[in-house]
A and B are shown apart, each in its own frame.
Chain A
Amino acid sequence: MTQRTDGPPDSGAEGGGPEGGALEHRRRCGPSWRTARPLRAMLVAGVGAASLVALVGTAVNGVVEPHVALAFCLVIAIGELTRINLPGNRESAPIAVSGAIAYALLISLGGEQVHHGAGQVVAVVALGVALGELPHVAVGRSPSVEGVARRVFTALLLAAAFRPLAAQLSLSGPSVQVVMLMALLVMVAWLVDVVVSAILRAERLRTRLRVAARDEARAQVATGGAIASSGVLIALACTVTGLVGLLVFSAPLLVSQVAFRRHAEVRRTYLETVRALSRVTEVGGYVENGHSRRVSRLAHGIACELGLSERELLELEYAALMHDIGQLSLHEPIAGGATVLASPREQRRIAELGSAIIRETGVLDNVAELVRRQCEPLHGDGDEGAPPLGCRIIKVANAFDDLVGDNRDVERRVAVVERLRMDTDSEYDPRVVDALAGVIRRG
């Protein structure tokens, strides 16, 4: 743990969520100490330093109740070993975190008071996490560094807040008041964690902090609830049952973890399928190779810039991947597949055919709507008013890619953005084009 500083920016397995795969992290240039994400580096460095201090301090002062420390360390290591990747590429280790919470909140063990301090909690958690990560690192599945840092950070917060109180509380034993106090502390720790992860997410995706905070809170309310209540439960149960409780009462969390993992798998599969199937238009020769993906990636970048929520991002990604699917109904492909060059009527027809196909699924109505209105001009046509932001984003991203293609020449890209900007009074949304310019500028 302690030696972890800023690792490679995209070491984690991508592909878990909306931004997985859609966003390719650029290879960093410049010296290794210059990072594009200073906040993350700060968190990692801070937590690393704290862990180091705690480890050294514990080693010097000796471990209090080593068998308890060892048991919790093992549980945390196992939990870290079985960490899961939740939708949105969020790494989570429910068992490790609730083990850490339990160790921080532990008052007594089978009637015997425990005396470990906050420093020892941090040291045990850091050691456990590091042990659990070793096998992953050995097979080349490096963790997301900020995920690890956040887990240790949560334990650090809780330990710092609760350990000083534990000595007094142990006299009264567990009671409803103590449980309330624990619940309160855990909730605060959860909130802090949400804020921290939101900051990191905003920094990574270059989206707005408020949007990121809302996304993180929504995404973590289920896992957080399960983890927190299990942590408190283990701490309480160990008071009565001793270390047996640690083993027995991780069970509910195990069930939750299985559920979370399966859910994440299904989500990932869904995205993979849509992504793969979006290539049918390419293989069919309707559009240029890689077009759907490039549009999707571009749309994602623009949408982050404009502060779309995670759910909207996902829908936008699906819509962008499938925006040309209506061409399947055409008898012969449009030359080069560039819909921007087709007549407006033809474009409208393709959009409507595609939307009809997507609507057929019965579950992607919002996506179908995005696809249907993707080629409407800025102020809409007909009585429906202006098309949704997602449509305007797809329109711009699609036009950009149709004109640029796989060309990576910067000058050409900037020229195309300027060309799109000339049409911002009627066709394209100026805000979207500005966001596109921002995305292009960053490369």
Chain B
Amino acid sequence: MRALPGGARVYVGIIVVSAVAIVLIGPYSGIDLGTLVLMVVLFVVAESISTHVLVDDEKAGISPSSAVALAAVVLVGPAGAAVVGFACCLALRRQILVKRAFNGAQYALAAYTAGHVYLLLGGTVGVPGQSDFPEIVFPYVAAVLTHTLINSLLIGLLMWGLGAGRAAGPRPRRWRPLLALEVTSIGYQMLGLAIAAVWGAVGIVAPLLILLPLFIARWTFGQQIAEARAHEATLATLCQAVETKDYYTRGHCMRVAEGAAMIAAELGMSAERVQKIRYAGMLHDIGKLGVPTKVIQKTGKLTDDEYAAIKLHPTRGYEIVREISFLDEALAGIRHHHERLDGRGYPMGLVGMEIPESARIISVADVFDCLTSTRSYRKAWSVEEAIAELRRCAGTQFDPKMVEALVRAVSREGWQTPDIAEPPGGHYGSTEDTELEGSNAPTSAEPAKRGGDEATKAAESTSAGVVTGGQDR
């Protein structure tokens, strides 16, 4: 916000000036000063305590203070509500001046408009009496909707002004969480009417009664976010712990999680599903734990038995995580991430669209990361080479839709390749002489020269995570 673009600066200026004008003009006739002061104090307190919740990586605040603003609409009319809204800039929190002024002005304008809509539809200013119910509900609801609408509009315009240079790209917006947020916030704002209704009888006690559950809810939301973060951190750490078995696959699970999430988001899935697929990506190789270390680290030719042990790992992984109920459909992604479209994959040899969507996503992300990272027998490929390889295998091994989604997402957001150059000396006992023994292990030097079919198998074998050649069947 430090360097506001010119357009945004003009916009903020206009908003602030018009809000100040409204507050100065009034009219304030017939408004109880004591009520107004109490409302202002209440609003500032509510605004100061409110924190912001993260929804889908976007900061969006729902704050109990808007309930107070709408109570002000009923109790002290449009002008009074504008004053109460403007008091937002007095909130006790660290915020730069421009933002403060804009927030205050934005709330003032929203409350003022809402107040006029309320009056227009037949609402009366002052403490509602018993005769006002239930007729008052209709203008009040209209005021709530107006308030929400104007607020979102003013912020949306500002964001548009700020983000014009950033060009968000064609990434599908996720509306659902935002919608849920709006519904919650409208629920909050209905309480303004409650504050107004009981104001006459019990005065300042009323808002305390109302705001208490809201603050408790906010507090719980905060706890929940903290706990969700803890959950993610724990998952990530445990996955990395599993990876310590193989030096070369360090960070693999996190990158596959990222890649799978990118594909899922590119396909326009809901935030919730994206998150599930991210977790499934993180956990996809956890079944490797069941494969003896010496097989995983073996760099020579694999025997039939050893290869069979490797083929078990998706099923093993599924057995470990199947009790994590929230993963539901993403569990299939772990179980089937080595299936191929042409039915030559394992463990079940599913064909085409029989393979669950999450598995098709993870499989692409998995192989992409394998190709772009160093293995004991070859250097990492460049992103371009890896994409060309994925495209070549689309239709036989991968779902073309997922490959293209990955390509689009990577071209927009880039891809973090691992920076592992060389393993610590002598990490593997037997790497030296067996390194390029396998006939179709891709060589580090010229990946492009390899024969077509062999490349597929190489990709497949790397995706199995087994650092060896000649294991394909």
Instruction: Please determine whether A110 and B133 come into contact, CB atoms closer than 8 angstroms.
Output: yes
Given that A256-B213, A270-B230, A279-B320 are contacting pairs, would A174 and B202 also be in contact in the complex, using a CB cutoff of 8 Å?
A: yes
Please give me the residue from chain B that is nearest to A180 by CB atom. Answer: B205
The one of B208, B217, B289, B323 in contact with A284, judged by C-beta atoms closer than 8 angstroms, is B289
Residues of B within 8 A of A222 (CB): 216, 219-220
A412 CA to B227 CA, complexed, in Å: 42
Instruction: Please determine whether A229 and B209 come into contact, CB atoms closer than 8 angstroms.
Output: yes
A259 CA to B216 CA, complexed, in Å: 9
Please give me the residue from chain B that is nearest to A98 by CB atom. Answer: B213
Residues of B within 8 A of A407 (CB): none
How many of chain B's residues have a CB under 8 angstroms from any CB in A? Answer: 67
B190: interface (CB < 8 Å): yes
Q: Encode A202-232 as 1/0 by CB contact (under 8 A) with B.
A: 0000000000000000000011011101101
Residues of A within 8 A of B134 (CB): 241-242, 244
A262 CA to B225 CA, complexed, in Å: 10
A265: interface (CB < 8 Å): yes
How many of chain A's residues have a CB under 8 angstroms from any CB in B? Answer: 66
Residues of A within 8 A of B218 (CB): 259
Instruction: Please determine whether B217 and A259 come into contact, CB atoms closer than 8 angstroms.
Output: yes
Residues of A within 8 A of B93 (CB): none
Residues of A within 8 A of B110 (CB): none
Please give me the residue from chain B that is nearest to A274 by CB atom. Answer: B234
Given that A236-B202, A236-B206 are contacting pairs, would A272 and B323 also be in contact in the complex, using a CB cutoff of 8 Å?
A: yes
The one of B194, B227, B235, B289 in contact with A249, judged by C-beta atoms closer than 8 angstroms, is B194
Instruction: Please determine whether A364 and B234 come into contact, CB atoms closer than 8 angstroms.
Output: yes
Could you say which of B241-249, B413-421, B437-445, B454-462 contacts chain A?
B241-249
A357 CA to B243 CA, complexed, in Å: 12
A252: interface (CB < 8 Å): yes
Residues of A within 8 A of B202 (CB): 174-176, 179, 236
The one of A233, A252, A270 in contact with B227, judged by C-beta atoms closer than 8 angstroms, is A270
Of A111, A285, A331, A361, most buried by chain B (CB within 10 Å of CB) is: A361
B203: interface (CB < 8 Å): yes
Q: Encode A168-198 as 1/0 by CB contact (under 8 A) with B.
A: 0000011110010000000000000000000
A415: interface (CB < 8 Å): no
Report B89 CB to chain A, min CB distance, Å: 26
A179 CA to B202 CA, complexed, in Å: 8
B29: interface (CB < 8 Å): no
A255: interface (CB < 8 Å): yes
Residues of A within 8 A of B224 (CB): 259, 262-263, 266
Of A110, A179, A249, A284, most buried by chain B (CB within 10 Å of CB) is: A284
Q: Encode B3-14 as 1/0 by CB contact (under 8 A) with A.
A: 000000000000
Residues of B within 8 A of A248 (CB): 137, 190, 193-194
Residues of B within 8 A of A275 (CB): 323
The one of A256, A262, A283, A325 in contact with B214, judged by C-beta atoms closer than 8 angstroms, is A256
Report B8 CB to chain A, min CB distance, Å: 33
Main secondary structure of the interface of A (DSSP, over half): helix
Residues of B within 8 A of A263 (CB): 220-221, 223-224, 227
The one of B203, B219, B286 in contact with A280, judged by C-beta atoms closer than 8 angstroms, is B286
Q: Scan residues 354-374 of chain A and give those whose CB is less than 8 A from a CB of chain B.
A: 357-358, 360-364
Count A/B pairs, Cβ under 8 Å: 202
The one of A223, A240, A270 in contact with B234, judged by C-beta atoms closer than 8 angstroms, is A270
A329 CA to B246 CA, complexed, in Å: 10
Instruction: Please determine whether B324 and A272 come into contact, CB atoms closer than 8 angstroms.
Output: yes
The one of A255, A273, A284, A361 in contact with B213, judged by C-beta atoms closer than 8 angstroms, is A255
Instruction: Please determine whether A259 and B220 come into contact, CB atoms closer than 8 angstroms.
Output: yes
The one of B213, B214, B321 in contact with A276, judged by C-beta atoms closer than 8 angstroms, is B321
Instruction: Please determine whether A361 and B316 come into contact, CB atoms closer than 8 angstroms.
Output: no
A53: interface (CB < 8 Å): no
Instruction: Please determine whether A269 and B234 come into contact, CB atoms closer than 8 angstroms.
Output: no
Instruction: Please determine whether A284 and B290 come into contact, CB atoms closer than 8 angstroms.
Output: yes
The one of B197, B223, B234, B242 in contact with A273, judged by C-beta atoms closer than 8 angstroms, is B234
A267: interface (CB < 8 Å): yes
The one of A179, A242, A251, A279 in contact with B133, judged by C-beta atoms closer than 8 angstroms, is A242
Given that A236-B202, A240-B130, A251-B190 are contacting pairs, would A280 and B242 also be in contact in the complex, using a CB cutoff of 8 Å?
A: yes
B228: interface (CB < 8 Å): yes
Residues of A within 8 A of B223 (CB): 263
The one of B128, B205, B216, B238 in contact with A357, judged by C-beta atoms closer than 8 angstroms, is B238
Please give me the residue from chain A that is nearest to B326 by CB atom. Answer: A269
Residues of B within 8 A of A161 (CB): none
Residues of A within 8 A of B237 (CB): 357-358, 360-361
A294 CA to B324 CA, complexed, in Å: 19
Instruction: Please determine whether B234 and A111 come into contact, CB atoms closer than 8 angstroms.
Output: no
Please give me the residue from chain A that is nearest to B190 by CB atom. Answer: A251
Residues of B within 8 A of A245 (CB): 133, 194, 197
Given that A236-B198, A270-B230 are contacting pairs, would A110 and B130 also be in contact in the complex, using a CB cutoff of 8 Å?
A: yes
Residues of B within 8 A of A328 (CB): 241-242, 244-245, 289
Report A22 CB to chain B, min CB distance, Å: 14
A270 CA to B288 CA, complexed, in Å: 22
Report B470 CB to chain A, min CB distance, Å: 25
A249 CA to B293 CA, complexed, in Å: 61
Instruction: Please determine whether B287 and A237 come into contact, CB atoms closer than 8 angstroms.
Output: no
A363 CA to B236 CA, complexed, in Å: 12
Instruction: Please determine whether A239 and B230 come into contact, CB atoms closer than 8 angstroms.
Output: no
B423: interface (CB < 8 Å): no
Residues of A within 8 A of B319 (CB): 279, 283
A258: interface (CB < 8 Å): yes
Given that A237-B194, A241-B130, A360-B240 are contacting pairs, would A230 and B323 also be in contact in the complex, using a CB cutoff of 8 Å?
A: no
Instruction: Please determine whether A280 and B214 come into contact, CB atoms closer than 8 angstroms.
Output: no
Report B60 CB to chain A, min CB distance, Å: 15
A239 CA to B320 CA, complexed, in Å: 56
B411: interface (CB < 8 Å): no
Q: Scan residues 310-329 of chain B and give those whose CB is less than 8 A from a CB of chain A.
A: 316, 319-326
Residues of B within 8 A of A110 (CB): 130, 133
A66 CA to B371 CA, complexed, in Å: 73
Instruction: Please determine whether A173 and B213 come into contact, CB atoms closer than 8 angstroms.
Output: no
Instruction: Please determine whether A361 and B323 come into contact, CB atoms closer than 8 angstroms.
Output: no
Instruction: Please determine whether B325 and A272 come into contact, CB atoms closer than 8 angstroms.
Output: yes
Instruction: Please determine whether A276 and B130 come into contact, CB atoms closer than 8 angstroms.
Output: no
A222 CA to B215 CA, complexed, in Å: 10
Residues of A within 8 A of B236 (CB): 361
Report B340 CB to chain A, min CB distance, Å: 25
Instruction: Please determine whether A226 and B216 come into contact, CB atoms closer than 8 angstroms.
Output: yes
Report A156 CB to chain B, min CB distance, Å: 23
B173: interface (CB < 8 Å): no
Given that A176-B205, A236-B201 are contacting pairs, would A276 and B133 also be in contact in the complex, using a CB cutoff of 8 Å?
A: no
A422: interface (CB < 8 Å): no
Report B93 CB to chain A, min CB distance, Å: 22
B308: interface (CB < 8 Å): no
A364 CA to B226 CA, complexed, in Å: 12
Query: 5 A-B Cβ contacts within 8 A?
Result: A256-B220, A263-B223, A272-B323, A360-B240, A361-B234
Q: Which 10 pairs across A and B sit closest by C-beta, in order of nearness?
A: A226-B213, A284-B289, A363-B230, A259-B220, A256-B217, A259-B217, A263-B224, A174-B201, A229-B212, A361-B237
Chain B residues at the A interface, C-beta cutoff of 8 Å: 128-130, 133-134, 137, 184, 187-188, 190-191, 193-194, 197-198, 200-203, 205-206, 208-210, 212-214, 216-221, 223-224, 227-231, 233-238, 240-242, 244-245, 286-287, 289-290, 292-294, 316, 319-326
List 18 additional A-B contacts (Cβ < 8 Å) besides A179-B202, A244-B137, A248-B190.
Answer: A226-B213, A236-B209, A240-B130, A240-B133, A240-B200, A244-B133, A244-B134, A252-B210, A259-B216, A259-B218, A262-B220, A269-B231, A272-B323, A273-B324, A276-B320, A279-B320, A332-B293, A363-B234
